[in-house]
Amino acid sequence: DNAPEGTVVISDIQTAGRGRRGRTWMSAPGLGIWMSVLLKPNLHPSQVQTLTLASSVAVIRALESLDIEIPGIKWPNDILIGGKKVCGILTELSAEAEKVEWVVIGIGLNVNHDHDDFPNDIKDIATSLRLSGRTQEPFNRSEIAAGIINELEAVYMEFLEKGPGWVAEEWKKRNVTLGKRVELVSQTGVTEAEAVDITPDGRLIVRYDDGRNGEVLSGEISLRRTNLTV
Ligand code: ATP
């Protein structure tokens, strides 16, 4: 509705949280940061995946100042602690052929959840900041949300100035995917490969077992297992 760039919407309760390809994002009331940020970057649509990487760099930078176990980024932009997902980021956009009209970065961060606050089907794969904290005391969600917004602004400005190569390097410093064996799960099946590198525009470079290299786009693939523990 013509909201200006930089508009941030944060909700205490989210009843229809979404992941990729119609998956559900569990958003327990009052326990997390469920936030959307509107950007209107002057970018070609093919560069938006870099913005997705940039968002995960911003969130992880904000988390690095907290007294928690070390977080890492799973390609393209999930944030894990001890191998479990603490934050999911979903980028949605509207674009014409050559130009992005808007991008909404949706961030779901589990903050004060206890084990029992997660539904059974994600209990083993999800964690929260509180569960990863040294004291297990609750965190102040407003302070953390403010930290994420500040980092997002800083990383976004630096990305526009320095370009995708800079974002890819920042991302690599904090990733837990490269150098690992992964399963590439797509509509057509599951393939094992080694995650080798990312391209500046955010594609994952993999080496298949027959020695061939390939590039993978995040819209097409989910990464599973193998050994993504930080
Ligand atoms: P995957 O994590 O399997 O690679 P993905 O990155 O595409 O998939 P998303 O679409 O970002 O996943 O997120 C949806 C998935 O995340 C769900 O299918 C569920 O497994 C998991 N999930 C849902 N809610 C939460 C939550 N609050 N915390 C952690 N994980 C969650």
Tokens 């994002």 -> residue: 25
Closest atom, ligand 1, to C-alpha of 224: 4
pLDDT tens digits in sequence order for the chain, 230 residues long: 889 999 999 999 999 999 888 889 999 999 999 999 999 999 999 889 899 999 999 999 999 999 999 999 999 989 999 999 999 999 999 999 899 999 999 999 999 999 999 999 999 999 999 999 988 899 999 999 999 999 999 999 999 999 999 999 999 999 999 999 999 998 889 999 999 999 988 999 999 999 999 999 887 678 886 654 44
Give me the torsion for CA of 69, 108, 191, 204, rounded to 10°: -80
Q: What phi and psi values does residue 9 have, to the nearest 5 degrees?
A: -120, 125
Residue whose CB lies within 8 A of the most ligand 1 atoms, among 122, 123, 221, 228, for a mutation test: 122
For residue 210, the CA-to-ligand 1 centroid distance in Å is 30
Element (H, E) at 173: helix 164-173
Determine which residue's CA is closest to atom 23 belonging to ligand 1: 25
Closest atom, ligand 1, to C-alpha of 26: 24
Give me the torsion for CA of 142, 143, 149, 152, rounded to 10°: -140
